[in-house]
């Protein structure tokens, strides 16, 4: 924070000694290493301390840096520094085809990749003016809800870890492993699936998906109540969370906060319910809300939302009728028929045989569509969806070419993090951790 300049108060031989310098706001001490007592002696009653927390810190929920000004143990001023995971995803998309863009946006919020893909694809489809087939929409819903469970489990697990509830963490990650196994079976990858594509999904679900999903639902039905047993009634858990990170409804609206945090303040705002997309209006589910507006309410909402997701998954399985999973338009849909070959995933032999041996036009079309991509009529679109963390929207601008002119993800982590100072100032340092954990920011999505 400061360079070691004028008044050297420590002994010159000790490189880790505290130093101090005079500023217009008083004496500023720079502390490194284990000379805390010495520093406290020097401050002599003036206990206003600015500490830096993160970006590498196990309880900042990723590479998030906090600059906290403390008076005793009370936080008087909190500032958040982000950008440590900025990877230029939005810029990269401008030099890739619309289809390739999916593989980039899926990596933004890495705990909810299916949501990133779906938001991006829904926006692309609005620009294209196409509607995905029913089966593709249902598969998207199915995958999103499975993904939502996984994401909420990580929120509980890391939140538990940050507060010292390590069994919450091990249980949360154990359950999430079920989610990842299932997603791997369904899409081929545990994360960064790139399974949802403009026009539908990349391929149909594999054989035996129904049994796997049903057994997953059964397992989760058995295990989710475990969180109530482990945490909900736990006195330490409740004392750490109740009344902590309070953010009322007007604060949420002013700061643009959405998702479980907004619902914990009493507004049943869930885009699946109020502005349905992909046929969510046909599913029967509840939007859990609370009025406590604190971290404990958000924890409860996440547990309840997982149960609701299980309900949606079961209904989606019922709705899964045979049919195409990609739009019919050959100008958009990739002609490839993927299959699992000896070398992992590749084009199916029949497809290769056809394009190589029988139809030159098919080969040209395949080549052009894959290398050049499809053209998207000029204009712009913004389609928001309800991600586990709130409103996730993709604002896409096309100039009529085969590459986006602009891709912008309105990521809920980025927006919700702005509320952290409002939630934590005036509280204790330990409550900052609880408040942050209840926001559940994912820095990959925040920084993009």
Partner 1 sequence: MSGDEKPQGTPQTPGTGAGGASGPTGASNPGTAGTAFGPQEIARRDVSGSTAGRAREGMFGIQGSGDTSGFGGLRLPGYAPAPAERPYGGWFDEVADEAAAALADDGGADLDTCVHQVTVDRGEMTWYVDREHLVRLARTLRDDPGLRFEFCSGVSGVDYGEGVPQQLHVVIHLLSMTYRRRLRLEIALDLDDARCPSLVEVYPTADWHERETWDMFGVVFEGHPSLTRILMPDDWNGHPQLKSYPLGGIPVEYHDAEIPPPDQRRAYT
User: Residues in the site for partner 1, rule: CB under 8 A?
Assistant: 82-83, 86, 88, 90-91, 95, 126-127, 129, 253-257, 267, 269, 274-275, 371-373, 375-382, 384, 391, 393, 395, 397, 399-403, 405-406, 408, 410, 414-415, 417-418, 447-448
Nearer to partner 1, 291 or 358 (CB): 291
Closest to 290 in 3D by CA, of 281, 278, 282, 298:
298
Residue 331 Cβ vs partner 1, minimum distance, rounded to whole Å = 11
Nearer to partner 1, 168 or 404 (CB): 404
Nearer to partner 1, 204 or 270 (CB): 270
217 and 141 Cβ atoms separated by less than 8 Å: no
CA distance 327 to 342: 29
CA distance 416 to 259: 9
CA distance 353 to 172: 46
Quote the longest CA-to-CA distance of the chain. 87
Nearer to partner 1, 253 or 336 (CB): 253
CA angle 425, 428, 434 (to 5 degrees): 85
Residue 263 Cβ vs partner 1, minimum distance, rounded to whole Å = 13
| Number of other CB atoms surrounding residue 73 within 10 Å | 12
Closest to 55 in 3D by CA, of 76, 16, 86:
86
433 and 57 Cβ atoms separated by less than 8 Å: no
CA distance 233 to 244: 17
154 and 190 Cβ atoms separated by less than 8 Å: no
71 forms beta bridges with 48, 74
Residue 375 Cβ vs partner 1, minimum distance, rounded to whole Å = 5
Chain-centroid distance, C-alpha 181: 19
Nearer to partner 1, 139 or 436 (CB): 436
Residue 181 Cβ vs partner 1, minimum distance, rounded to whole Å = 34
Cis peptide bond upstream of 157, omega within 30: no
Q: Which two tokens stand for residue 316?
A: 């989606």
CA distance 370 to 355: 14
Nearer to partner 1, 112 or 309 (CB): 112
Nearer to partner 1, 124 or 203 (CB): 124
Residue 400 Cβ vs partner 1, minimum distance, rounded to whole Å = 3
DSSP 55-97: SS-TTSSSS-EEEEEEETTEEEEEEEE--TT---HHHHHTTS-
Nearer to partner 1, 29 or 414 (CB): 414
Residue 121 Cβ vs partner 1, minimum distance, rounded to whole Å = 15
DSSP one-letter code for 229: I
Residue 241 Cβ vs partner 1, minimum distance, rounded to whole Å = 25
Nearer to partner 1, 238 or 395 (CB): 395
3-state SS assignment for residue 219: helix
Q: Which two tokens stand for residue 61?
A: 């929920």
3-state SS assignment for residue 306: helix
Residue 91 Cβ vs partner 1, minimum distance, rounded to whole Å = 6
Residue 60 Cβ vs partner 1, minimum distance, rounded to whole Å = 17
Nearer to partner 1, 88 or 341 (CB): 88
DSSP one-letter code for 282: G
410 and 431 Cβ atoms separated by less than 8 Å: no
DSSP 318-330: HH--SS-SB-S-T
| Number of other CB atoms surrounding residue 32 within 10 Å | 13
Residue 111 Cβ vs partner 1, minimum distance, rounded to whole Å = 20
Nearer to partner 1, 127 or 142 (CB): 127
Residue 55 Cβ vs partner 1, minimum distance, rounded to whole Å = 12
Nearer to partner 1, 212 or 408 (CB): 408
Residue 415 Cβ vs partner 1, minimum distance, rounded to whole Å = 6
């Amino acid at each position: 924070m400061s360079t070691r300049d004028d008044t050297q108060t420590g002994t010159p031989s000790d490189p880790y000694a505290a130093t101090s310098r005079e500023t217009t706001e008083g004496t500023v001490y720079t502390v490194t290493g284990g000379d805390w007592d010495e520093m406290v002696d020097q401050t002599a009653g003036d206990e206003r301390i600015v500490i830096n927390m993160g970006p590498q810190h196990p309880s900042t929920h990723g590479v998030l840096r906090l600059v906290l000004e403390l008076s005793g143990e009370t936080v008087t001023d909190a500032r958040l520094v982000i950008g440590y995971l900025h990877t230029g995803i939005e810029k990269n998309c401008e030099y890739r085809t619309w289809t390739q863009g999916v593989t980039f946006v899926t990596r933004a919020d890495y705990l909810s990749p299916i949501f990133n893909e779906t938001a991006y694809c829904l926006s692309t489809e609005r620009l294209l003016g196409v509607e995905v087939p029913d089966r593709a929409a249902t598969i998207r819903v199915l995958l999103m809800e499975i993904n939502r469970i996984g994401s909420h489990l990580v929120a509980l697990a890391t939140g538990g870890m940050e507060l010292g509830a390590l069994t919450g963490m091990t249980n949360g990650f154990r359950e999430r492993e079920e989610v990842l196994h299932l997603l791997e079976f369904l899409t081929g990858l545990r994360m960064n699936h790139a399974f949802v594509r403009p026009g539908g999904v990349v391929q149909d679900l594999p054989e035996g998906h129904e049994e796997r999903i049903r057994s997953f639902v059964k397992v989760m039905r058995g295990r989710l109540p475990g969180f109530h047993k482990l945490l909900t009634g736990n006195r330490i858990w409740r004392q750490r969370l109740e009344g902590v990170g309070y953010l009322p409804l007007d604060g949420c609206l002013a700061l643009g906060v959405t998702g479980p945090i907004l619902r914990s303040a009493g507004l049943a705002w869930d885009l699946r319910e109020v502005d349905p997309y992909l046929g969510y209006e046909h599913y029967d589910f509840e939007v859990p809300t609370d009025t406590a507006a604190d971290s404990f309410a958000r924890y409860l909402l996440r547990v309840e939302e997982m149960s609701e997701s299980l309900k949606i998954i079961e209904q989606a399985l019922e709705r899964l009728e045979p049919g195409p999973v990609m739009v019919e338009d050959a100008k958009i849909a990739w002609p490839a028929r993927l299959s699992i070959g000896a070398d992992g995933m590749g084009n199916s032999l029949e497809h290769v045989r056809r394009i190589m041996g029988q139809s030159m036009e098919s080969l040209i079309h395949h080549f052009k569509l894959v290398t050049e991509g499809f053209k998207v009529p000029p204009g712009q679109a913004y389609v928001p969806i309800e991600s586990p963390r709130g409103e996730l929207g993709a604002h896409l601008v096309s100039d009529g070419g085969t590459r986006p002119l602009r891709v912008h993800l309105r990521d809920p982590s980025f927006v919700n993090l702005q509320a952290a100072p409002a939630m934590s100032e005036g509280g204790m340092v330990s409550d900052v951790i609880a408040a942050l954990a209840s926001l559940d920011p994912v820095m990959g999505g925040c920084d993009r």
